[in-house]
A and B are shown apart, each in its own frame.
Chain A
Amino acid sequence: MLQSLGARVVRAFFLVSFAYFATTAVSPAGEADVVNIYSYRQPDLIRPMLDAFTRETGIRTQIIFAAKGLEERIRAEGALSPADVILTVDISRLAAAKDVGVTQAVDDPAITENIPLQYRDEEGHWFGLTMRSRVVYASRERVSEDAITYEELADPKWKGRICTRSGQHVYNIGLIASMIAHHGEEWVENWLHGVKANLAVKPTGNDRAQAKAVYAGQCDIALGNTYYIALMRTNDKEPKQKAWANSIKVLFPNADGRGSHVNISGMALAAHAPHRDAAVKLMAYLTGEAAQKLYAETNHEYPVKAGVPVSEMVASFGQLNADPLPLSEIAKNRRMASELVDRVGYDDGPSS
């Protein structure tokens, strides 16, 4: 009796799983009016732009969102990959996608016109969509300075006063890589030692946690991306975050010199994109006036297209003077940046 029960369970298992997998499998041929997006960006952050695209063109979009490894997935899927467009933050990831060979070049006049040369790959494998600057969150109460440089973060006057998230986080890797491009490896190693010695606590948490730490008085300055301050100041669900962000003034480092470090969120066309035309249409749309405005208003990022205004909140931070360093230089130095962080023992914090 038990045997027949076992057989029934096994049969049911296969039936159910087959039915289930049949419904979840990726359809090979696909429809013409869809764009498949592999995204490192959280879907809610890009949904407004995608919805607007669908309203205008009738082309649907579907998303796979993951935190890590999407390039490897596309590479493994090979010629059958359903991926059309890759959306991600951080120049390093865009460059990595190109390096592993899962992207293809796009030469679309609308896109190249909308995006300044500095923010796209010269071979057309990736394009920036929005910018964010890595700025200093300074306590309104305890920091009198209204200007600062990245170089100055190693100055002993900040001893015990700085908070950052892990040095290995892509946002910090990007910043450190830009420092390497400007100053060279050896200089940056010393600089990192200096910043590390100035830390108030071990690097942990995310950018919001750094803002909280400044608010709490654990440190006086912290590194963070611009849009977080805007998002926290407008956070009605967790009003306490408004208090964190309001205790902070945004300082754009090197504003009077070479400019503040910026990173991008961007896009690339997948090497085997099955819906190439629709995909390029979407890419062009995302660089256009309407989508760029939405990016600015809903996500508080800097539009990459010239002439599109930033959100009111971001405008209140002051004028962004972006470091004109080509992003490909940053991508090139990211491995060295990551090695330096380890070598200096940055994440061990100030005590060691």
Chain B
Amino acid sequence: MTSLEPILGGRGRAILAPRQSAYGRTGAYAIAGAVCLFVALPLIALAVIATGSSGEAWPHLFRTVLPRAMVTTALLIAGVGVGTAAIGVGAAWLVSMCRFPGRGIFEVALVLPLAVPTYIVAYAYVEILDFTGPVQSAIRDLFGFQSARDYWFPEIRSLPGAIFVMTMVLYPYVYLTTRVLFLMQSACALDVSRTLGSGPLRLFFRVALPLARPAVAVGVTLALMECINDIGAVEFFGVRTLTFAIYDTWFNRGSLAGAAQLAMILLIVVIAIIATERAARGRQRYHITTTRYQPLARFSLTGWRAALAAFGCFAPVALGFLVPAALLADFSSRRLEQFTSPALLSAGINSLTIAILSAVAAVFLALVLVYCARLSRSSGVGMLGRFAAIGYAVPGTVLAVGILVPLAAFDNAIDAMMRSLFGISTGLLLAGSGAAIVYACTVRFLAVSHGALDAGLAKITDHLDMAARTLGRGPVRTLTAIHLPLMRPALATAALLVFVDTMKELSATILLRPFNFETLATYVYSQASRGVFEEAAPAALVIVGVGLVPLMILLRTGAQNAVERRSASTRAGST
């Protein structure tokens, strides 16, 4: 029945759609609303802080800071956006659609840069590329230059340098989301195009890329939000972004309200970006309605084409992972005793616990949001979820204040109540505990899990819901029996991305943590903050190492399940 339907299906679904009871729809709205409120609480707190008097912050900001900060931020976003999209989509296409030597290894290796915190990569490149680093030393030896004034060498501590580093660290977001989509898309769509005479390039630009658009959009949005909220790398490189201005306004000019107001502007920019992309996409739908899934026939590349493809995949892995990891390994080799230190071990356990709890929480909440949006069939609920997850774009320390304020207010209220009723003081229950950190990381990385699950769920055809509902399954049964099994790759992706991001999270964790509480990231920071980055290398290497394992799992389940899922959905579709 389905093979005649347009691939970008959706026409006619109004007739087929099961009637929603008013009760079910209100329920979906209510649940989504509650989750959004929970997640947006820190942002609301920030908005309240932003209503305070900013002192004399604004005349100065308008006159001297904002124009330049806006331009710098725009250039950074544009550079990182184009860079991550090009590398992410290109690499995803190569490994999922072509056959060339090393393809299987690259498929996994391309994710590795995600395991390395951005500021560590930034540091590594300064170490390697500045005057005393190996590259310039070699150049001097080769040409006999004496000082830095004898030759020109690009300065890594600059806007282009920041774009380079962030692109190399963040492209895996785009690679991951796009690759899953390339793996899952119906071979039919591509086969039809091939029979109609499309070559590989035409196929890519005319069929595969347009079909992959939601996934690319999700990946690029994540990369951009992460690049907007970054302070470590931009500070190190002297790139004066909006986030940089937020910190200056807060710390050097003593205006938290001014900083919160700037953060709100930042959010408006992000919302505008997301809304523009959504609007441009219009009412197109991207799920594949056919049930005829076949393994994709990959293009076999030979000769120089194969070499080019292999190089195209090797370069990002080398620049985003191998180079910084090699430097860390070199530093660590002189500090092997640190690997067995109890401090590092307990930091590792703390990091793992926080990361696992945050991953579970973020995936659960994101699942509730995307499924409520699907049940309510309202684009409003979908957008609500997306905006609730926008905390990702807020600089971590600012978000941490937004978290502290409501949590501490809650604790104080409980304490006051318990005192007056029972005469006992409960003290701070949530603020300054591990719960605050998990809350922070959940809120911060909900955008990541939400993006992954949204894309995953969107690819499951409505027809399955309809079939299940016709057969008398309620919305929850439909979710557990139909969607969750089909969404396994998306669920795994979401959980592991949040896990890895939480392992790296620094700026919120460090402000919210309890006494004597170290995670790997705070351990790295506290070493690096003495100006002795080298001492932090072992811990940084452990972050990378612990991040690697889940990334490997991610890739394996991703690839296996894409195949399984095809057969599963074929089965489900035929019942």
Instruction: List residues of chain A with CB under 8 Å of any chain B CB.
Output: 2-3, 6, 9-10, 13, 16-17, 20-21, 23-29, 36, 42-45, 62-70, 72-73, 76-82, 92, 96, 99, 166, 168, 170, 173, 201-209, 212-213, 215-218, 228, 231, 235, 237-238, 240, 334-335, 337-339, 342-343, 345, 347, 349
In the complex, what residues of A have CB within 8 A of residue B397's CB?
67-69
Contacts A80-B412, A202-B155, A207-B531; A26 near B433 (Cβ below 8 A)? yes
B27 at the interface (CB under 8 A from A): no
The docked-state distance in angstroms from the alpha carbon of A166 to that of B482 is 56
5 closest A-B pairs (Cβ-Cβ)? A28-B427, A338-B252, A24-B434, A216-B131, A217-B147
Interface string of B422-444 (1 = CB under 8 A from A): 00011111111111001000000
Most interface-central of A17, A82, A207 (chain B CB within 10 A): A17
Instruction: For A27, list chain B residues within 8 Å (CB).
Output: 427
Q: Which of B415-463 contact A (CB under 8 A)?
A: 415, 425-435, 438
Contact present for A26 and B432 (CB under 8 Å):
yes
Using Cβ atoms and an 8 Å threshold, which residues of chain A touch B400? Answer: 69
Q: Give chain A nearest CB distance to B390 CB in angstroms.
A: 21
CB distance from B280 to the nearest CB of A (A): 35
Our count of residue pairs bridging A and B at CB distance below 8 angstroms stands at 214
The interface stretch among B74-82, B104-112, B513-521 is B513-521
In the complex, what residues of A have CB within 8 A of residue B335's CB? 237
With known contacts A76-B408, A96-B254, A205-B236, A20–B530 Cβ distance under 8 A: no
The smallest C-beta distance from B182 to any residue of chain A, in angstroms, reads 28
B148 with A21: CB separation less than 8 A:
no
Residues of B227-248 at the interface with A, using a CB-CB cut-off of 8 Å, are 235-238, 240, 244, 247-248
Residues of A within 8 A of B361 (CB): 13
In the complex where A64-B514, A72-B404, A217-B147 touch, is A334 in contact with B252 (Cβ < 8 A)?
yes
Instruction: Choose among A67, A76, A215 the residue that contacts B401 (Cβ–Cβ < 8 A).
Output: A76
Collect the chain A residues with CB atoms within 8 Å of residue B427's CB: 25-29, 80, 82
Taking a contact as CB atoms closer than 8 A, the residue among B126, B155, B244, B526 that contacts A43 in the complex is B526
B287 at the interface (CB under 8 A from A): no
Which chain A positions have C-beta within 8 A of B515? 26, 36, 62-64, 82
Residue among B148, B361, B438 having the largest count of chain A Cβ atoms under 10 Å: B148
In the complex, A99→B412 CA distance in Å? Answer: 23
A96 to B256, CA, bound (A): 11
Tell me whether A13 and B360 are in contact (CB under 8 A). yes
- Interface presence of B405 (CB below 8 A): yes
A334 contact set on B, CB distance < 8 A: 252-254
Asked if A218 and B131 make an inter-chain contact with CB atoms under 8 angstroms apart, the answer reads: yes
Docked-complex contact A29 and B511, CB < 8 angstroms: no
Q: Which residues from 528 to 544 on chain B have a C-beta closer than 8 Å to any C-beta of chain A? A: 529-532, 534-535
Q: Determine the distance from Cα of A215 to Cα of B148 in the docked complex, in whole angstroms.
A: 11
CA gap between A77 and B407 in the complex, in Å: 9
Q: Are B531 and A78 in contact (CB under 8 A)?
A: no
Contact assessment for B425 and A28 in the assembled complex, using a CB-CB cutoff below 8 Å: yes
Bound CA span A69–B535, Å: 25
Q: Which residues of A contact B407 (CB under 8 A)?
A: 76
Decide: A42 near B526, CB < 8 A? Known: A68-B511, A70-B511, A166-B238: yes
Give bound CA distance, A166 to B248, whole Å.
11
Complex Cα gap A166–B237 (Å): 10
Could you tell me if A80 and B254 are in contact, using CB atoms closer than 8 angstroms? no
Main secondary structure of the interface of A (DSSP, over half): helix
Report the minimal beta-carbon distance from B1 to chain A, rounded to whole angstroms.
28
> Scoring B residues 481 to 514 as 1 if CB is less than 8 Å from chain A, else 0, what string do you get?
1001100000000000000000000010011111
Q: Are B480 and A67 in contact (CB under 8 A)?
A: no
Name 8 interchain pairs, CB-CB below 8 A, sorted by A: A13-B361, A62-B516, A67-B397, A69-B397, A73-B512, A77-B411, A80-B411, A217-B148
A243 to chain B, nearest CB (A): 9
Decide: A335 and B238 in contact? CB cutoff 8 A: no
Closest to A165 in B: B238
Task: Given A21-B434, A339-B253, decide whether A72 and B401 contact each other with a Cβ distance below 8 A.
Answer: yes
Q: Is B283 an interface residue (CB 8 A)?
A: no
A17: B residues at CB distance < 8 A: 357, 435, 438
Nearest-Cβ distance from residue B346 to partner chain A, whole angstroms? 12
Interface flag for B19 (CB, 8 Å): no
The distance in angstroms between the C-alpha atoms of A191 and B138, with both chains bound, is 39
Shortest CB-to-CB span from A286 to chain B, Å, is 19
B131 touches A99 (CB 8 A): no
Task: Identify which of A10, A26, A228 contacts B428 (C-beta below 8 A).
Answer: A26
Please give, as numbers and ranges, the residues of chain A lying within 8 Å of B532 by CB-CB distance. 235, 237-238
Asked if A77 and B253 sit within 8 Å, CB to CB, the answer is no
Given A63-B516, A343-B64: A77 touches B431 (CB 8 Å cut-off)? yes
A45 to B429 Cα, complex, angstroms: 30
Give chain A residues whose Cβ lies under 8 Å from the Cβ of B240. 347
- Cβ proximity bits B146-160 to A, threshold 8 Å, 1 near / 0 not: 111100000101100
Also in contact, A28 and B428, with CB within 8 A (given A69-B401, A204-B238, A335-B252): yes
Taking CB atoms, residues of chain B closer than 8 Å to A63 are 515-516
Our pick among A2, A10, A36, A68 for the contact of B481 (Cβ within 8 Å) is A2
When chains A and B are docked, how far (Å) is the Cα of A20 from the Cα of B436?
Answer: 12
Interface centre among A203, A218, A345 (most CB of B within 10 A): A218
Residue of B nearest to A77 (CB): B408
B302 within 8 Å of A by Cβ?
no
**Given A6-B480, A79-B412, A237-B535: A205 touches B157 (CB 8 Å cut-off):** yes
A216 touches B428 (CB 8 A): no
Interface status of B132 (Cβ within 8 A of chain A): yes
Taken residue by residue from 96 to 139, chain B's Cβ proximity to chain A (1 for < 8 Å, 0 otherwise) reads as 00000000000000000000000000000010001110000000
A342 touches B357 (CB 8 A): no
With a cutoff of 8 Å between Cβ atoms, the chain B residues found around residue A9 in the complex are: 360
Whether the pair A237, B534 counts as a contact (CB closer than 8 A) is yes
